[in-house]
Chain A
Amino acid sequence: MIVVRRKPIDEILKMVGRHTRVMLVGCNTCAAVSLAGGQKEVDTLIELLSLAASRKGFSVEFSDAILERQCEPEFIEKLDSQGYDAILSLGCGAGVATLAGDNDKPVYPALDTLFIGSAQGFASWQAECSACGSCVLGETCGICPTTRCAKGILNGPCGGVKDGTCELGDRPCAWVEIYDRLESLGRIDDFGKTMPAKDNSISARCCEWDMTKEGDDS
Chain B
Amino acid sequence: MNLHDALSSGTFAVTSEVGPPKGTDVSEMLASAEILRGRVHALNVTDNQAAVMRLCTLAACIHLKNAGHDAVYQVTCRDRNRLAMQSDLLGAASFGITNVLALTGDHIVVGDHPAAKSVFDYESVQLLETIVDLKGGRDAAGNELHGVPDFTIGAVVTPDAKPFRPQLAKFEKKVRAGATYFQTQAVYDPESFTSFSAYARGLGVKILAGVVVLRSAGMARFMNKNIPGIEVPQALIDQLEASNDPVQTGIEITARFIEQVRSECDGVHVMAVGAEHLVPRILDAAGL
Chain B contacts of A152 at CB under 8 A? 120, 123
Whether A160 pairs with B123 at a CB distance below 8 angstroms is no
Interface residues on B, range: 35 or more
Chain B min CB distance to A199 (Å): 11
A158 to B77, CA, bound (A): 12
Q: Does A176 sit within 8 A of B, measured CB to CB?
A: yes
Whether A153 pairs with B109 at a CB distance below 8 angstroms is no
- Of the candidates B107, B124, B140, B170, the one having the most CB atoms from chain A within 10 angstroms of its own CB is B170
Q: Contacting B229 at CB < 8 Å: which of A154, A162, A194?
A: A162
Q: Contacting A164 at CB < 8 Å: which of B109, B162, B176?
A: B162
Whether A194 pairs with B129 at a CB distance below 8 angstroms is yes
A167 to B125, CA, bound (A): 19
Q: Does B41 sit within 8 A of A, measured CB to CB?
A: no
Whether B121 pairs with A197 at a CB distance below 8 angstroms is yes
Whether A157 pairs with B166 at a CB distance below 8 angstroms is yes
Chain B contacts of A173 at CB under 8 A? 166
Whether B118 pairs with A191 at a CB distance below 8 angstroms is no
Q: Does B150 sit within 8 A of A, measured CB to CB?
A: no
Whether A151 pairs with B120 at a CB distance below 8 angstroms is yes
Whether B163 pairs with A197 at a CB distance below 8 angstroms is no
Chain A contacts of B106 at CB under 8 A? 160, 167
Produce 1/0 per residue, A149-179, CB < 8 A to B: 0111111111111111001100001011001
Whether A194 pairs with B176 at a CB distance below 8 angstroms is yes
Chain B min CB distance to A153 (Å): 4
Q: Does A196 sit within 8 A of B, measured CB to CB?
A: yes
Chain A min CB distance to B17 (Å): 15
Chain A min CB distance to B39 (Å): 27
Q: Which residues of A are interface residues toward B (Cβ below 8 A)? A: 150-164, 167-168, 173, 175-176, 179, 191-192, 194, 196-198, 200
**Interchain residue pairs with CB less than 8 A apart (16):** A150-B107, A150-B109, A151-B105, A153-B123, A158-B104, A158-B124, A159-B158, A161-B161, A161-B166, A161-B228, A162-B228, A164-B162, A167-B228, A168-B107, A168-B109, A179-B166
